[in-house]
Amino acid sequence: MIVVTGAAGFIASCLVSRLNAANFNDIVVVDNFSVAKKEGNLKGKKIKEYVDRDSFFAWLDDNYEEVEFIFHLGARTDTTEFNKDVFDLLNLNYSKQVWNACCEYQIPLVYASSAATYGSGTLGYDDEEATIPLLQPLNPYGDSKNDFDKWALEQTAKPFFWAGLKFFNVYGPNEYHKGKMASVIFHAYNQIKEKGSMKLFRSHNPDYADGEQMRDFVYVKDVVEVCMFLMQHRKNSGIYNLGSGKARTFMALALNTFDAMGVEPNIDFMDTPENLRDNYQYFTEANMSKLRSIGYNREFYTLEEGVKDYVQNYLMEGKYY
């Protein structure tokens, strides 16, 4: 039996699909299942039981002997939310409860951290654990993820295997419900489909031309492969970057989206909203050597490959993974 929290969400629902494909069908999904827009993410998947997130710890007390692994991917992920109490409740304190339960019942754990922990990137993007207490995220979401990473590293009691994954800019199928927090590819696709054109944020940093802001875009199919690897690996506990390892520009992302749709590029620029401008990351790139060093040797999708697969096989078809 494998538990996946946040299972109705983007990354976690893709993980459920990948687990099913590997013949893991005793999946227990944990979430707040009241959001109708997420229902398609789990439709047709092989699931043993649905557990409301507020009932999960009582359920685990009764069923821990059957649980083989927990993927804790549930979180509030809105980077524009500034109510710290929301993040303390859902990201920090809930994650502490998951950790403590995994310690008590000796269940291995993989949990979602975030590249938002790196803030402006002045300390780089190396996942060395000694630098984690020094990081200065740019928003309460990043703070909540870094606060949990710091707390986990300070614990004397740890699950016999655990890993925190610093997700970079994940894109791919099953993000239909995410609204403004969906990937730029998702928004680009919808703008191009509707208008034949799209808008990117203008640069407000003299070191970067418009559209040349860079991110480490990582395809969700790569993210779930890393999760599968860690579930089977179960050693070398720690916190790991999870990106493609290659920063690419928003312009490249946009041009690849037009190309995948067979539409001539037509790109305009708009000012980055003032409430985001001071906290905007102009460059992110995951150093992936740590994950590679423990034996993960699959090649990651290039941006060209990932965008083409996402656009042509999911967005244009209206399909889920």
Distant-in-sequence, close-in-space partners of 316: CB < 8 Å, separation ≥ 6: 261
> Quick check: is 141 catalytic?
yes
CA distance 310 to 127: 28
The answer to whether 234 is a known ligand-binding residue is no
Residue 127, annotated as binding a ligand: no
Consult the annotation and say whether 160 binds a ligand: no
134 in a known ligand binding site: no
Give the C-alpha separation, 270 to 266, whole Å. 14
Q: Is 74 annotated as a binding residue?
A: yes
- Could you give the residue ranges of the DSSP H alpha helices within the chain? 10-21, 39-42, 56-63, 84-87, 94-105, 140-154, 184-195, 220-233, 250-261, 274-277, 289-293, 303-310
Check the annotation: does 71 bind a ligand.
no
Decide: helix, strand or coil at residue 171.
strand
Among candidate residues 46, 150, 178, 246, the one labeled active-site is: 178
Active site residue 46: no
201 is in an annotated binding site: yes
Q: Which of 141, 171, 301, 314 is catalytic?
A: 141
Was 246 annotated as part of a binding site? no
Q: Name every residue whose Cβ is closer than 8 Å to that of residue 141 and which is 6 or more positions away in sequence.
A: 76, 77, 78, 79, 81, 87, 91, 114, 116
Q: Per the annotation, does 204 bind a ligand?
A: yes
Catalytic residues: 141, 178
Binding-site residues for NADP(+) sit at 10-11, 31-32, 38, 53, 73-77, 145, 170, 178
Binding-site residues sit at 10-11, 31-32, 38, 53, 73-77, 145, 169-170, 178, 180, 187, 201-204, 215, 280
Binding-site residues for substrate sit at 169, 180, 187, 201-204, 215, 280
